[in-house]
Amino acid sequence: MSSKPKVQNPTARLWPDVPASETAGIDQRVDEIMNWATSNDQDWLLEFVEKRLTDAGRGENAAHKDLFPSATELATRFSLTPAQAKVLSAFLTGRTLREIAADQKVKISTVRSHFVDVRGKLGARDQADVVRIVLLQKKEGRA
């Protein structure tokens, strides 16, 4: 039996510009992703988080800006419409679909529709899978 890396789950407080009112929701999403990674033998993600925590401990919080591609890059990489790419980009920063709808001044049904289309184009099963696919594509340098 292999020993999995023991990684403390990160919290939203590691990233600057995250309002305190949003940290609980982001922390819950991070916990879900970390639990998925642990239960599905995704050690690369655990190692990625461990490095991020180490960087954050050294005060390198600005590194999060390069964590995910821009909306334009997401649109190109995954053949998304600009609206789908904006939704995905906001989701990757920790926004809920409801928050994205409020931010973009559109109906929640519109955001949900875009997100369903994004999941289909990425071949993702759920929200955690969307994050995994985007991170894995970036890690492997795929276009």
What is the C-alpha to C-alpha distance for residues 53 and 4, in angstroms, rounded to an integer? 17
Q: Please, what's the largest Cα pairwise distance for the chain?
A: 50
What is the chain's pLDDT, residue by residue, as a tens digit (143 residues)?
Answer: 445 445 555 555 555 555 666 667 777 777 787 788 788 877 777 777 766 666 655 544 444 455 678 889 999 999 999 999 999 988 888 788 988 999 899 999 999 999 999 999 999 999 889 988 988 875 443 44
124 touches 133 (CB < 8 A): yes
Q: What is the DSSP letter of 93?
A: T
Domains and CATH numbers, the chain: 12-65 (no CATH), 68-140 (1.10.10.10)
How many CB atoms neighbour CB 1 within 10 A? 3
pTM of the model: 0.56
- 91 closest CA partner among 29, 10, 36, 140: 29
pLDDT at site 138: 54
Q: What contacts 90, CB < 8 A, 6 or more positions away?
A: 99, 100, 103, 104
pLDDT at 122: 94
